[in-house]
Structure 1
Amino acid sequence: METAELLAHPVRLRIVHALRGGREMTTAELVERLPDVSKATVYRHIDLLGNGGVLEVAAERRVRGAVERRYRLRQDRASISAAAAAGLTAEEHRRAFTIAMTALIAEFGAYLDRPGSDPARDLVGYRQHAVWLSPEELTELISELRAAIVPRLAQEPAPGRAQYLLSPILFPIEPPPA
């Protein structure tokens, strides 16, 4: 199964999000992280991601006669290349966007269901802005966003750090003038 196909499922996408930033987790920890997904479903999707090379076993240990595995993300296999994305049809883009939004809605629901969640205290944001941009201004905006976001993608778990899901979405809402 190709990476695009592997990532084209909301549960698998949520597993990938959970393991970003150099994090290693067991299946039990991932089940806890995805409380709205059955244990069997999490196991099945971890198996698919592992067989597809998106996850790898970071460590193994014996626990009461069973082998407990810690998984980590293979960063080189956990995203879709720009060339692959450019080759998608409109329907494939529609499906990928729907999957991404489904995963985002599920993650937000899991956050709200967590005891003590407080969107105001946690600085939760989900604003949308319509902006007018020339092609040059669009390119500049994308560069500025990348400059702000990319350095933080390499940050790993550490005391005082919480993992946030950042989902920039950008698309034209009307055709450019003739």
Structure 2
Amino acid sequence: MASADLLLHPVRARILQTLFGSDPLTTAQLRERLPDIAPATMYRHVAVLAEAGVLEVVEEKRVRGTVERSYRVRQEQAVVDPEAREAMGIEDHRRAFTAFSASLMADFERYLASDGANPADDGVAYRQGPVWLTKEEFAELIEELDAAVVARTGNAPTPGRVRHVFSLIAVPDNAAEPPGER
């Protein structure tokens, strides 16, 4: 499993998000999908992710005297394990969340700037929903949400299907008092 610094770097997070749920892509194809990332930067970050074992090479072919590699995400390596999360300090979490949030904002801005963006028609959703849960109930909810998304990650891209990206943020609201404790 990778470190939070490795996975939550803004450029690497965008590369991973682009590769999640897609067919393997070459670095050139990644550049087409992420044109605002400079070529040298793209190649450097793909190499870092591949060296860390987060990306794997699924095909190599010779193209004009060079080797073109197709990559896919190794899902089991693209997570920060619980021990690493526990070892992170407050500033580490602040930095990681800032990178995560910046990546979300950049993705949303790219969507809004795309031709034909229509948030209402496209089903764009951003919501908050407070729930009172024990630690065990919270763990169960996270498992249920993960299972619901994972159950659909195998869907093949077909006409009529649109790729949606789900991002989960769960934050305890320590300022809220349980009912009856006021």
Bin of the TM-score, shorter chain as denominator length: 0.7 to 0.9
Give ranges in structure 1 of 5+ residues lacking alignment: none
SS in 2 for 1:152: coil
Contact in 1 for aligned 2:3/2:84 (Cα 8 Å)? no
Indicate the RMSD between aligned Cα atoms, in angstroms.
Answer: 2.3
Deviation at 1:19, TM superposition (A): 1.2
Which residues in structure 2 correspond to 1:1-178 (within 5 Å)? 2-21=2-21, 23-129=23-129, 131-135=130-134, 138-139=138-139, 141-153=141-153, 155-160=154-159, 161-175=161-175, 177=177
Deviation at 1:63, TM superposition (A): 1.9
Following the alignment from structure 2 to structure 1, what is the Cα–Cα distance between the partners of residues 148 and 41? 35
Contact in 2 for aligned 1:9/1:99 (Cα 8 Å)? yes
Identity value in percent:
46
Give the direction of change, closer, same or farther, for the CA distance of 1:123–1:95 in structure 2 (3 Å limit): same
Give the direction of change, closer, same or farther, for the CA distance of 1:156–1:6 in structure 2 (3 Å limit): farther
Contact in 2 for aligned 1:23/1:72 (Cα 8 Å)? yes
Following the alignment from structure 1 to structure 2, what is the Cα–Cα distance between the partners of residues 11 and 174? 32
**Structure 2 counterpart of 1:121, one-letter code:** D
**Structure 1 counterpart of 2:28, one-letter code:** A
Following the alignment from structure 1 to structure 2, what is the Cα–Cα distance between the partners of residues 58 and 147? 26
Following the alignment from structure 2 to structure 1, what is the Cα–Cα distance between the partners of residues 128 and 43? 36
State TM-score, norm by structure 1: 0.85
Following the alignment from structure 1 to structure 2, what is the Cα–Cα distance between the partners of residues 49 and 142? 26
Deviation at 1:31, TM superposition (A): 0.9
Q: Which runs of 4+ in 1 moved over 3 A?
A: 136-144, 175-178
Contact in 2 for aligned 1:23/1:156 (Cα 8 Å)? no
**Structure 1 counterpart of 2:132, one-letter code:** L
State TM-score, norm by structure 2: 0.84
**Structure 2 counterpart of 1:115, one-letter code:** D
Following the alignment from structure 2 to structure 1, what is the Cα–Cα distance between the partners of residues 57 and 141? 38
SS in 1 for 2:170: coil
Contact in 2 for aligned 1:18/1:30 (Cα 8 Å)? yes
Deviation at 1:38, TM superposition (A): 1.6
Deviations 1:53-79 (A, max 9, x none): 111111111222222111111122111
Deviations 1:9-35 (A, max 9, x none): 011011111111263001111112112
Contact in 1 for aligned 2:5/2:96 (Cα 8 Å)? no
Deviation at 1:176, TM superposition (A): 6.1
**Structure 2 counterpart of 1:26, one-letter code:** T
Aligned length: 176
SS in 1 for 2:168: coil
